[in-house]
Structure 1
């Protein structure tokens, strides 16, 4: 009898290699962000796309707050088109990071999602920050 795992056959190795390699072009994880920060090798802009109140309650250190609904050409005007944005939201139950990634890609910026979001960050045992870092062009009162 075949297990539920093998009920649908695994992809050939070459197809699996392409699939998993491609996934890594779209996402990073909390450990890689933390490791880059610890090494002082931060060549990306980390963006918490939740609303300002959630951000102020606790966010990944070094992240700026741009609620996904506010992402626009005007808000991003100070960033060169080569800027890599790494976006995150509350966690796997939230699609705000996906919405933000769509907007950033549509504006022709490279973007990756930090999978796990705040939930993943805490699951790794990393601390949140409560210092507010926000681009001057983002409205403070919007809970998006």
Structure 2
């Protein structure tokens, strides 16, 4: 008798490779963001898309504050075409980063979601910085 894990067979390897490559093209994690921010010139712009009070209470060091509702083509023109934006919000219980990702994609900007958001950042043991 098959277990709950194996009662539905695993996908063929090529199908799994396509699936996971697709996810990684849309997402990054807190560890990778933290490690990448240690370089002198990160190759992406990190956006905290939460409201002003949440950002002020604590955000990922190096993140720029741009609430998802303020993402417009005009605003994003500050950065060259092709700039990769990594967006995050409070965490898995928040859809602000998804909204930001959708806005960026609709205006033709490359975007990845930092999975876990602030909750994931803290879970990894990384510190936030605050505006105080």
Please tell me the TM-score bracket, short chain as reference: over 0.9
Report how many aligned residue pairs link the two structures.
132
Q: Greater helix share, 1 or 2?
A: 2
> What TM-score results when the alignment is normalised by the length of structure 2?
0.95
Conserved? CA contact 2:68–2:96, under 8 Å: yes
Conserved? CA contact 2:57–2:131, under 8 Å: no
Match of 1:96 in 2: 96
Match of 2:105 in 1: 105
> What TM-score results when the alignment is normalised by the length of structure 1?
0.88
Equivalent-residue separation in structure 1 for 2:58 and 2:102 (angstroms): 24
Q: After TM superposition, where is structure 1 displaced by more than 2 Å over at least 4 residues in a row?
A: none
Contiguous gaps of at least 5 residues in structure 1: 133-144
Match of 1:44 in 2: 44
Q: CA deviation at 1:85?
A: 0.3
Equivalent-residue separation in structure 2 for 1:38 and 1:76 (angstroms): 24
Q: CA deviation at 1:41?
A: 4.4
Q: CA deviation at 1:95?
A: 1.0
Contiguous gaps of at least 5 residues in structure 2: none
2:74 counterpart SS class: coil
Equivalent-residue separation in structure 2 for 1:54 and 1:118 (angstroms): 10
Conserved? CA contact 2:87–2:100, under 8 Å: yes
